[in-house]
Structure 1
């Protein structure tokens, strides 16, 4: 499946400064970058590795008070949707150090606070069947409510309020999976099926020696996702970071299937 991506951003900055961007599609075994063009007015660009070596991040050294950005890409996705129930969990001693990281609690995914709940709710299941049940639980129990959360909302907050947006759904899935000793990471993506189009977030879990994408919002399927980056939680893969104030003037994300 070929997916077209177009992003336009216009931000007012407090002055010339360095802006860290995580918005370019990642080159992986399951997605081939056919075209990738990033243009930023009055900026010098420097690329660095993405978190966990997934994709790249871009330092934009902006010399004016406006960040004007245009990104377009064409990505061929060859990923198929996994049948989770058939996939085994991997024992701790078989995990590499980069995967072990995603067993630990993080700021927005305090998985250590969910251990008792996971034991009570899902102890009768194992491996992919347990993960599938967790995703079903999140999809059923939560209501998608734009504006119901903010940049400080954690998985515990979402668990209590039972509402959120894609970021919150992904955080809660990650927290539940880690509480069950299954590595899980937060993944930023472009999703062809999300309407209206925007930056999207899903979870990935480590089963049977590979990462598998899961969208508890039910807005997208793995075959229609383009991975941008992955980390412990949203703090690792924000699409834009700056140490000064930045105000949105205009932003547009368009994602479509050819």
Structure 2
């Protein structure tokens, strides 16, 4: 599937600030870029560094009064649209080194709080079938409510309130998956079907020797997702991290199919 993605950011800054920006589509084996441009406005050029697990790139910027960034890209996603239902769980003793950290607890995903619930509710299933059952449970039980959570909201908070946005849905599925001894990580993406449109958060789970995308909100098709970066949770894969004081003035994301 061919996608056109565009994002525009405008922030006011209260003095000097170091900024870590990650809004560009990653070049990967299952998605490629035909064209991309990033305009970071006036100021010093950015310094590029690799994203987590060498997926995508981040950019360090130094700004004093304003941050503006305009990104546009044409991407082709070649991954199949099938789900992971029939995939087997990889025994933890067979996991490769890069997947092991995604079994562990992280800032927003304390999986130990969910182990009993996951066993009681989904223990009769395994592997991809368990992942899909957990994904479906989250979509049915939670109410997608913009403004209902904050940067401090954890998977436990969302589980209790039963409402949140894509970031919160992803944190709960990650915690559920790790409670079932299935490595899971957050993925920042551009995606078709997201309403309201914004930077979207989904989950990748490690099954049968590979990573597989799952959207716990149910909004985005797997073949309509362009990955930006990955991490243990939202703390690792934020599209914008500001070391200083910043005020949002405007932010827009647009994703469309071009064929």
- Relative to the length of structure 1, the TM-score reads 0.97
Q: Which stretch shows the higher mean deviation, 79-88 or 51-60? A: 79-88
The aligned counterpart of 2:156 is: 156
* Equivalent position SS for 1:20: strand
C-alpha deviation, 1:65, in angstroms: 0.7
The aligned counterpart of 1:32 is: 32
The aligned counterpart of 2:165 is: 165
* Equivalent position SS for 2:133: helix
Residues 1:145 and 1:196: Cα distance change in structure 2 (over 3 Å): closer
The aligned counterpart of 2:139 is: 139
Equivalent residue runs for 1:1-258 within 5 Å? 1-41=1-41, 42-62=43-63, 64-258=64-258
Give me the whole-angstrom Cα distance separating, in 1, the residues matched to 2:227 and 2:69.
20
TM-superposition CA deviations, 1:113-134 (whole Å, max 9, x none): 1111111111111111111110
Give me the whole-angstrom Cα distance separating, in 1, the residues matched to 2:9 and 2:75.
20
Give the paired residue count.
Answer: 257
* Equivalent position SS for 1:84: coil
Give me the whole-angstrom Cα distance separating, in 2, the residues matched to 1:17 and 1:200.
25
- Relative to the length of structure 2, the TM-score reads 0.97
* Equivalent position SS for 2:85: helix
Q: Which stretch shows the higher mean deviation, 77-86 or 137-146? A: 77-86
* Equivalent position SS for 2:46: strand
* Equivalent position SS for 1:146: coil
Structure 1: state its 5+ residue gaps: none
C-alpha deviation, 1:33, in angstroms: 1.2
C-alpha deviation, 1:196, in angstroms: 2.9
Give me the whole-angstrom Cα distance separating, in 1, the residues matched to 2:188 and 2:164.
16
CA RMSD of aligned residues (A): 1.0
Following TM superposition, where does structure 1 have runs of at least 4 consecutive aligned residues deviating by more than 4 angstroms? none
Q: Which stretch shows the higher mean deviation, 223-232 or 243-252? A: 243-252
Give me the whole-angstrom Cα distance separating, in 1, the residues matched to 2:85 and 2:239.
32
Give me the whole-angstrom Cα distance separating, in 2, the residues matched to 1:250 and 1:131.
36
Structure 2: state its 5+ residue gaps: none
Give me the whole-angstrom Cα distance separating, in 1, the residues matched to 2:196 and 2:177.
29
